[in-house]
Each structure stands twice: as C-alpha cells, then as structure tokens.
Amino acid sequence: MLLKIPGLLTNEQVHRCREALARASWVDGRTTAGHGAASVKQNLQLALSDPIGIEVGNLILDVLGRSPLFMSAALPLKVMPPMFNRYEGGGTYGNHVDNAIRMLRGTDHRVRTDISTTVFLTDPADYDGGELVIEDTYGSQTIKLAAGDMVMYPGTSVHRVTPVTRGSRISAFFWTQSLIREDAQRALLYELDNSIQQLAVDVPGHLEITRLTGVYHNLVRRWSIT
C-alpha cells in the first residue's frame, strides 16, 4: 500500500527542522548503504550519531505518534529513528530495495523493514528533479510532495530518487516494523478501519459499528505477529 499523508509537519515544524539541519555536518551517504545499493547511491546523509539528527528525528517521531492516519495504516510495532539525506549537484539514488533487517541504533534490537517512509522537508519549487519513483502493482509512481508531507510504501518495493539538477532536496526517511507483516492484510485493515470511522460519523450509535469493530480487532488478533 502506497499512502501519502499531507501536512504531517506544520510549516513551523518544517522551519525548525530545516534550521537545525542547516547546522549539521553531512557525510557521504554510501556509508550506510548495503553492498548492492552503494554502487547506485550518490547523496549526503547525517551520521547516525549526529546530535542534530537525533534531535530532529525525535521531533518527527513525536508528531508521528499523534498521527491517526499513520497509526491506522502502519499498525506499528517498532519504528526506526529517522535518518536524513540531502541530494544536490546531480545527486541521485538508483533502483534499489531497502535492506530487510536493520539494527536499532545503540541496541542489539533488529527491525524488519515492512514499511519505508519519506518525509519531505524542502519545498518542491526549490529544486529540480529529486522525485521518489516507486515501482508497484500499478506501475511507476512518481512522488514529489510539499515540505511537511509524508509518503509510506512497502519496504519490498523497488524505488529510486532521480537526479537533483537544481537546488537541494532534504528529507527524513525511516522504516517501520508492523504488527501485521503482510502489506495486503495491512491494506484491508486500513480500509476497514476507515469505513468504521466514517460510519461512526454518518450513523453514530448504529449497532453494526460495534460488530464491524469486533471484526477488525479479531482480524488483528489473527494476523498479528505478537
């Protein structure tokens, strides 16, 4: 399931993130790429231990935890701390698939990358290129969102970032391990949850809302990995 979440961050929060990241020290992005991905990766990133990256990442995680749309679509079990990348001067990232398992920074815990997420921090008018292109069942999906918007998509997807030929594209990215391992099952639960919420608005107090809510939670019980 590919899902866009507009306005995850407010304009003021985007400004705070950008101000902080402007003071950060960027390093070669290939240092965090797997063997195959390193050959097609040309960008800059913040080191995992960079205090500015940790500070801005915590801001994003705090906002994310209050997003009903993210919680409904992801059903998160573990969320990796956000990382940050910068593309400029022709910087690009060719076709690749994210590593299936990543280590949680500073721990021995592993996270399965069920869901990949990008939070855009640069206004699209400020740079040329830099589209996130995701291959899915319906073909190539080209994503270039407003600053503060977020897109989430299956970690199994082949994807790429096209060369940035003008300006600079700065984004946060991270992975989520879901309670529901299969993307198709998460999509069904997301649609069911949305339908229940809409029914609660359209026909509040209807007895079938309770029945459908029970179906939702029983499916979560059946499909959950915990």
169 has binding-site annotation: yes
Q: How many residues are there in the chain?
A: 226
206 has binding-site annotation: no
149 has binding-site annotation: no
98 has binding-site annotation: yes
CA torsion, ordered 142, 146, 148, 154, to nearest 10 deg: -10
- Residue 48 phi/psi, 5-degree rounding, is -60, -30
Q: Element (H or E) spanning 45, and its range?
A: strand 44-46
DSSP string, 49-76: T-HHHHHHHHHHHHHHTT-HHHHHHH-E
Distance of alpha carbon 134 from alpha carbon 190, whole angstroms? 20
Q: How many helices (H) and strands (E) does the chain have?
A: 6, 17
Annotated binding site for 2-oxoglutarate: 169
Annotated binding site for Fe cation: 96, 98, 159
Annotated binding site: 96, 98, 159, 169
